[in-house]
Amino acid sequence: MRTNTVKARLRAGESAIGCFITVPAPMLVELCGLAGFDYVLIDAEHGISELETVENMIRAADATDIVPITRIAVNQQQVILRYMDAGALGAQLPQINTAAEVQQVVDAVKYRPLGKRGLAGVRATKYSMGLPFPRYIEQANQETMVIVHIETPEAVANLEEMVRVPGVDVFFIGPTDLSYSLGYPGEPGRPEVQEIIGRIVKVVRGAGKAVGIMATDVAGAKRYLDMGIQYVATGDRALIAGAAQNYLKGVRS
């Protein structure tokens, strides 16, 4: 099983920069790997990729040595299982609001004794042609990541309890959903929202966990890194649209 270099970087106190991939295209994953991103977030929540395509996107990540993490829309063990069996090195779950829901994610990602994930001769195990199952389980529990979203007032209120659940690597702030749920849709830069973000960072880092966030531009990413947020992601659409607009602006000027 692959070493999860993102997990290693976070544990060492370093940052990891990734990109959400919302388009069902293994080529985009390859491009991110070749460009030097640390990880890709294959988006099966707001993105339109189906499981078979996600598996091929994970293959593209393996081929270009970039860590594949999948954002999964539903916090159900048998749903999460299928993405992990396809070879994802982490599961990222949105709309997690309680410690019990955090525990459900951990249980789905980790094998016993750390969780309840089912075991089979799937792609993640190299179709039973890789490590013996006992060694594979040990390594998988070490290398897989659990990332949960904090993006509602309920999650913010329950955060002190949520960060005490063992097995979580990153608490990820979704600025768009957070601002929307706080009553400021489309205004993540508002002081009220930024104050909440600062509080989340303080609680999570105080518990010894890493914080993640979405940042669509360089200035935002640098600001969040300066705040101590280690796991920063941009988006494929922002990168493509920005590059396209800059190109057209230059050509037409």
Residues known to be catalytic: 46
Q: Which amino acid is at 220?
A: G
d(CA 118, CA 66): 25
Q: Which three-class secondary structure string do you get for 17-29? A: EEEEECCCCHHHH
Rg (CA), the chain: 18
Whether the CB-CB separation of 199 and 160 falls below 8 Å is answered with no
In 3-state terms, what secondary structure has residue 245?
helix
The answer to whether the bond into 191 is cis (omega within 30° of 0) is: no
